Amino acid sequence: MILPAWAVDANGTAVSTHYEVSGNIVTQVVEHNTPGLAYPVVADPKVYYAWWQLFTWSEWRWNSYYGMNQLSMELSGWGRYDAIFNAGQFLSSGWSLLQSKHSWWMFTPSMRQQWECHVLGGLAEWGTFDLEYERYSNPNWRSRIGMWPVSQTCNW
């Protein structure tokens, strides 16, 4: 898995970039000749080779407390690192990997919100990430960041 192409100039300004594929070769093309860019330009896409690089396990479980099914997962060391230091990329890559391992149609809008909450708002939460299938949608979940205890931030 190769995460979306990205590049920034010395000022942190996004630089237009994309991948080109020829056979089994992937090349990142960076449009660095744009006027106004400050050098150096940095482009360092993240490449994952296997699902288990981000997760040690994931499984569907019945949560008797909430009375609904949930997808539970534990992040690997690399997954924790990415969740903390590359949260923006991990939002996309981790979600895509979960959907590739489990049926994509089983993922609800609320599960996506819970995922984003765990990644962006629950960094101090070192247990499992649990995404309840039937939890109601809460587009304003970001207002819960900072609640105590942290483990309940993503449980609305």
Same domain, 77 and 125: yes
pLDDT at 19: 93
Look at residue 44 and tell me whether its pLDDT is greater than 60. yes
Per-residue pLDDT averaged across 43-72, rounded?
A: 84
> What is the pLDDT confidence band of residue 154, given thresholds at 50, 70 and 90?
confident
> Is the model more confident about 54 or about 123?
54
CA–CA distance, 18 with 29 (Å, rounded to integer): 5
- Residues 68 and 125 both lie in one domain: yes
Could you identify the residue written with the tokens 């960094």? 123
Measured distance CA(74)–CA(84) in Å, rounded: 14
Name the pTM for this structure. Answer: 0.66
Q: What is the pLDDT of residues 61-89, one digit of tens each?
A: 999 998 999 999 998 888 888 888 878 77
Work out the average pLDDT over 90-114: 88
> Do 76 and 127 fall into the same domain?
yes
Residue 43 has pLDDT above 70, yes or no: yes
Decide if 76 contacts 53 (C-beta within 8 A): yes
Mark whether 29 and 95 lie in a shared domain.
no
Together in a domain, 69 and 134:
yes
pLDDT, greater one: 146 or 15 = 15
Q: Are residues 90 and 58 in the same domain?
A: yes
Please name which of 30, 57, 41 lies closest in space to residue 8, comparing C-alpha atoms: 41
Number of domains, the chain: 2
Considering the domain architecture, whether residues 63 and 123 belong to the same structural domain is answered as yes
Tell me: do 5 and 55 sit in the same domain: no
pLDDT at 124: 54
Domain of 4 in residue numbering reads as 1-47
Q: What is the pLDDT of residue 89?
A: 77
Whether 129 and 87 share a structural domain: yes
Residue 95 near residue 111 (C-beta atoms within 8 A): no
| Planar angle of CA 57, 59, 64, nearest 5 degrees | 130
- For the chain, give the mean pLDDT: 85
Average pLDDT for 37-52: 79
pLDDT at position 90 is 82
Residue 149's nearest CA partner among 134, 132, 127 is 127
92 with 131, same domain: the answer is yes
